[in-house]
Amino acid sequence: MSEKIAALIAAVEEDMTLEEVRKALGDGADPLSLVEALREGMAVVGDKYEAREYFLPDLILSAEIFKESIALIEPHLQSGNTTTKGAVVIGTVHGDIHDIGKNIVATMLKCNGYDVHDLGVDVPPQVFVEKASSTQAGLVAMSGLLTLAFDAMKDTVDALAEAGLRDKAKVIIGGGPVNEKVLEYCGADAFGKDPAEAVRLANRYLA
């Protein structure tokens, strides 16, 4: 049954995935194994996206299916018994309010089992620092679409270092103009061109 659910979400089949999840819950399936199956399916979606077999609409729709499925499963879960792969703090940096890319990355990280703390947009460096500290996050993900965001990314990396968090948390960056040069400028650990790459980087640093 779990295999079927994983395959259906991987095929971005909304109605069939939800029907199968309902059926499994009705049959008394272990809710945790269903969550795991959904995550496995989402990992396949990520792989297909990286292979350019799938595109952004597939990521968005599969993440929606994931959310709807989790909403069905949640009442059957005892609180606190789901496992996470680690805490991630994410936000769009100070001075920039673009949120589509950041939201998709946050959703994909959640779908892949991370405990995601989304700070929203226009986030000052100190807010990143406070959240990274209070959640003991192993990963800080910053987004920015404006070239003016490069400085805010650098300021945030510097603020994390000043707070003594730089050896505890890896920092990844993303957004339209971000590349190797921007990475070097702001002193982060890695950059991702798309949501699948963000998940791959999280897996590398946290899993």
Partner 1 sequence: MKKRIMLYPGDTMTAEERMKAVIRLQVPDRVPAVPCVYYYFATYSGLTFADLFDPKLYRRATMKLFDELGPWDAYNFFHTYYRELASFFIPMVTMEPGFELPASSIRQFKEEEIMRPEDYACIVEIGERTPRLSFYRIMMGFMPRIYDYIQEGWRSYAFVLPRFAAQLAYYRYEFRDWIDRGATLFYSIGPVEVPFDTFSLARGLIPFVKDLSKYPDDIRRAADALVPGYLFLIKATVNLFGIKRAMIDLHRSSNDFLSPGQFREYALPSLKLLVAGLKDEGIDVIMHCDGDWGLNLEALRELPAGQCVIQLDGATDIFKAKEVIGDRMCIYGDVPASMLALGSAAEVDEYCHRLIEEVGRGGGFILGTGCELAPNARPENVKAMLDSVVKYGYYDK
Binding region for partner 1 (CB under 8 A): 52, 54-58, 60-61, 64, 95-100, 146-148, 150-151, 176-179, 181-182, 185, 194
Nearer to partner 1, 148 or 207 (CB): 148
In the complex, minimum distance from the CB of residue 9 to partner 1, in angstroms, rounded to a whole number: 15
Residue located via tokens 């680690």: 86
Nearer to partner 1, 23 or 181 (CB): 181
Nearer to partner 1, 107 or 112 (CB): 107
In the complex, minimum distance from the CB of residue 206 to partner 1, in angstroms, rounded to a whole number: 26
In the complex, minimum distance from the CB of residue 122 to partner 1, in angstroms, rounded to a whole number: 9
Sequence-distant (6+) residues with CB within 8 A of 73 are 21, 25, 31, 34, 35
Nearer to partner 1, 98 or 166 (CB): 98
